A = this chain, B = another copy of it.
Amino acid sequence: MSVTAPRGFRAAGVAAGLKSSGARDVALVVNDGPDAVAAGVFTANRVKAAPVLWSQQVLRTGLVRAVVLNSGGANACTGAPGFQDTHATAEHAAAALSGSADGGPEVGAGEVAICSTGLIGERLPMQRLLPGVAAAVAGLAADGGLAAAEAIMTTDTRSKTTVVAGTGWTVGGMAKGAGMLAPALATMLCVVTTDAVAGPAMLDEALREACRVSFDRVDSDGCLSTNDTVLLLASGASGIAPSQAELTAAVTEACRDLARQLVADAEGASKEVAIEVVGAAGEDDAVEVGRSVARNNLVKTALFGNDPNWGRILAAVGTTGAAFEPDDIDVAVNGIWVCRSGAAAEDRAKVDLSGRQVAIRIDLHAGSAEATIWTNDLSHAYVHENSAYST
């Protein structure tokens, strides 16, 4: 049930005509409380879309009553007019929510976060978006989570939702994007909700730790979006206050589940690749090595060609600053140790790459830290989809 699985939340997803396909393109998530606590993590790209700049301001208060999300346009690189469009959207949503007959609280525009995704550099059609927001307010429902998850899809072939059960409280979530939080393919948007009782600092800590080991470990194509946003909203409706560790664990599980769904549905991918780096001197080294391999186009095209080309993997490892000796490195592809001590070992012909799941294990023999990075292959379909997206 997505973001409406926890108590205290309603959601909606409507078709406002932003997408030429006529599919749902405006989503709304409302926190009916009693609390309206929130935390957010945003793209590290210095070119930030108007909704990111807006929502960063909103999140500064730690108070969010509603999130409006639209597909069909990123509202990025649109200058001051684009920011005014975001502001107007928040005002419109706040007014509609305050005037609705559902008995909810008065909502100010400064309590409405905005997320957008789609083509960069074009203004949003406000004459369609604002009626869409009104329709979403009218359509809010306690089981609206799935419709909302559909409305934020762009090149996604299926919606991504999750539910994680705590003890008497719940975490729910939805996400879109064929990519990742830090480096991002198209744009990644994610809203996670919970009915746990938690303050803003606790939410912030839970969300940052969850992102660090989930979305930040996904690197589909190394591209960092202008719009990436992950929000965590808490209603407190369960009346139960978990510990920091319990909350962090549940939010992390939700984010990991959504991150895996993003990789599984990445644009044009024919492989889901887990790059496990072990024996690293530190976790940062493991992440750096994993990310370098994940971003290497020669490794990615080899995987598309079902070729266990470990030489390209070693070449990618060699570009990092991680602690290792080249002659110590072992590499396994789908369980076959094709490289031992930096040179050929088991017969590469033994590697079965016919399936969709690929596991690459790299042992640096430099320590005991480890990390896993998730990525995809580089396929004809990726080139096709991304060469035709905006024209």
Contact = CB atoms under 8 A, between A and B. Distances in A.
A318 interface: yes
Interface residues of A, number: 65
A343 B387 contact: no
Highest count of chain B CB atoms <10 Å: which of A301, A309, A310, A382: A301
A162 B301 CA distance: 32
Interface string A221-245: 1111110000000000000000000
A185 interface: yes
Contacts of A342: 47, 77, 79
Protomer copies:
2
Interface stretch (A59-67, A116-124, A188-196): A116-124
Interface in A26-47: 44-47
A145 interface: no
A390 B307 contact: yes
Nearest to A53: B326
A165 interface: no
A127 interface: no
Interface in A293-335: 295-298, 301-302, 304-307, 309-312, 314-320, 324, 326-327, 329
B79 A327 contact: yes
A350 interface: no
Interface in A129-169: none
19 contacts: A45-B315, A46-B320, A46-B326, A48-B318, A74-B311, A79-B342, A121-B339, A121-B343, A223-B315, A223-B316, A225-B315, A298-B386, A301-B382, A301-B383, A307-B387, A307-B389, A309-B390, A378-B383, A382-B383
